[in-house]
Structure 1
């Protein structure tokens, strides 16, 4: 399986990128870093600059059809930048249109709101997104992880870094359903 990790060029929460990446890689699957620009992605550890990571492809030179699932790491700046880029929004929406699993953590559901794919779904997020998600028609819950198998495609969501063990477990379980 090839798993796309979609991030903006700057502002992804490092641990929300690296821990799911490691979890996917440990299963033998192939994670690929996709961004809106070629080059590198600058991660952050909350507000402090973190490491950089090489981009494997962009939303312009890759297609969601090349991937089996999508991971949307959080941070505040990352999904805020993605939701204002129509190419990134279309890339994320394409996974739902193709009934492929998506996993989003922390502030990442902002991109999903913009893609208009949260209506009538149950999900969780960083608490400050509660009103945004409810206004977009979602049912928000305060849980470490939420799996919504409503059509189209399964959606795994989580609140933030403290919930990564739950997020990774649920993400791998849902991605495994596709591989099975």
Structure 2
């Protein structure tokens, strides 16, 4: 299986109030994210994290992710650039890139942290998955096959493309 999620913002205290996350502490948020991930993702699955994994704390974030199942691929966001220089953080990921195009069960998918108005293959049925806007995505124009996978939108749980289409 392939799963997607963005904007975990691990160790980011201010994210709780900034985007009205329903947690009393970052520790509680971490616990929910970890439990949701472990209840869904298997060791042979791939999880594409579309940026903003966490704030600083590279070693601690690496430890959390290393203990989660699945192969992890990071499509970097605006809060990842300091952490990707840490060896303990980098070794967590099978790949780190700023943009990626993949195939998911016969569907072409463009992965980028930021929402794109007009993405490669849009007029040929390609999908675009992004994060960055959290739960403030209402200001975006509605586009077929463009999905926001920010943690707040996907209930802090990695989500498949099939599940996104069903929403």
Same fold (TM over 0.5): no
Q: Which has the higher helix share?
A: 1
TM-score of the pair, normalised by structure 2: 0.37
TM-score of the pair, normalised by structure 1: 0.35
Q: Which has the higher contact order (CA 8 A, sep 6+)?
A: 2
Larger Rg: 2
